[in-house]
Amino acid sequence: MRALHLAAEAAPWVKTGGLADVIGALPAAQRDAGADARLLVPGYPAIVRALADATPVAGPFVAPVGQAPCRLLRGTYGDVPVYVLDCPWLYRRDGNPYIDASGAPWHDSHLRFGLLGWAGAQLAAGALDPHWTPDLLHAHDWHAALACWLLERRPGPRPATAFSVHNIGYQGLFPAWTLEDLPLSRRDWHPGGLEFHGELSFMKAGLVSSDGIGTVSPTHAREIVDPSTGHGLHGVLRSRGDAPVGILNGIDTRAWDPARDPALVSAFDASDLDRRLPNRRALRAEMGLDADGARMLLGMVSRITSQKGSDLLISVIPHLVEAGCDLVVLGSGEQALEAQLRQVAARHPAHVAVHIGFDEALSHRFFAGLDALVVPSRYEPCGLTQLYAMRYGALPIVHRTGGLADSVDPEVGFLFERPDAPAFGAAIDAARTVFAQPQRWREMMLAAMRRDHGWQRAASGYLDWYRQLMACAPR
Ligand code: ADP
What is the pLDDT, as a whole number, of residue 101?
85
The answer to whether residues 257 and 192 touch, using CB atoms and an 8 Å cutoff, is no
What is the pLDDT, as a whole number, of residue 422?
97
What pLDDT band is residue 472 in, cutting at 50, 70 and 90? confident
Handedness of CA 143, 466, 78, 130 (dihedral sign): negative
What is the pLDDT, as a whole number, of residue 102?
85
Nearest CA to ligand 1 atom 16: 385
Average pLDDT value for residue range 70-83: 97
* Alpha-carbon distance values, 304 to 141, 329, 330, 377 (Å): 20, 10, 9, 10
Distance 130 CA to ligand 1 centre (A): 37
Determine the atom of ligand 1 nearest the C-alpha atom of 21.
14
Distance 216 CA to ligand 1 centre (A): 15
Report percent pLDDT > 90 for the chain: 96
Q: Indicate if the pLDDT at residue 474 is higher than 70.
A: no
What is the pLDDT, as a whole number, of residue 156?
86
What pLDDT band is residue 103 in, cutting at 50, 70 and 90? confident
**Mutational test site, ligand 1, from 140, 302, 360, max ligand atoms within 8 Å of CB:** 302
pTM: 0.96
What pLDDT band is residue 475 in, cutting at 50, 70 and 90? low
What pLDDT band is residue 94 in, cutting at 50, 70 and 90? confident
Write the CB contacts of 69 (distance below 8 Å, at least 6 apart in sequence). 59, 60, 61, 62, 63, 87, 89
Report percent pLDDT > 70 for the chain: 99
Element spanning 100, H or E: none
Distance 303 CA to ligand 1 centre (A): 6
Average pLDDT value for residue range 43-61: 96
The answer to whether residues 391 and 373 touch, using CB atoms and an 8 Å cutoff, is no
pLDDT in tens, 315-343: 999 999 999 999 999 999 999 999 999 99
77 in helix, strand or coil? strand
* Alpha-carbon distance values, 134 to 127, 339, 455 (Å): 11, 47, 22
**Mutational test site, ligand 1, from 301, 364, 377, 380, max ligand atoms within 8 Å of CB:** 301
The answer to whether residues 204 and 387 touch, using CB atoms and an 8 Å cutoff, is no
d(CA 390, CA 73): 38
What is the pLDDT, as a whole number, of residue 95?
85
Distance 198 CA to ligand 1 centre (A): 32
DSSP secondary structure code for residue 251 in this structure: B
Q: Indicate if the pLDDT at residue 199 is higher than 70.
A: yes
424 in helix, strand or coil? helix
pLDDT in tens, 390-399: 999 999 999 9
The answer to whether residues 224 and 204 touch, using CB atoms and an 8 Å cutoff, is no
DSSP H helical segments within 106-248, as ranges? 109-124, 141-153, 202-209, 218-223, 234-239
The answer to whether residues 300 and 329 touch, using CB atoms and an 8 Å cutoff, is yes
Distance 68 CA to ligand 1 centre (A): 32
Distance 301 CA to ligand 1 centre (A): 6
What is the pLDDT, as a whole number, of residue 121?
98
Residue 197 C-alpha from the chain's centroid? 27
Find residue 86's DSSP bridge partners: 71
Q: Indicate if the pLDDT at residue 468 is higher than 90.
A: yes
Residue 472 has phi, psi (to 5 degrees) of: -100, -25
d(CA 137, CA 119): 12
pLDDT in tens, 124-151: 999 999 999 999 999 999 999 999 999 9
Nearest CA to ligand 1 atom 19: 302
Mean pLDDT score of the chain, rounded to an integer?
97
In 3D, which of 167, 168, 170, 187 has the Cα closest to residue 179? 187
Residues with CB under 6 A from ligand 1: 17-19, 21, 167, 301-303, 330-332, 358-360, 363, 382-385
389 in helix, strand or coil? helix
Determine the atom of ligand 1 nearest the C-alpha atom of 357.
23
Distance 359 CA to ligand 1 centre (A): 10
Distance 403 CA to ligand 1 centre (A): 14
Q: Indicate if the pLDDT at residue 458 is higher than 80.
A: yes
Determine the atom of ligand 1 nearest the C-alpha atom of 385.
6
Burial 188-218 (b: 16+ CB within 10 A, else e): beeeebbbbeeebbbbbbbbbbbbbbbbbbb
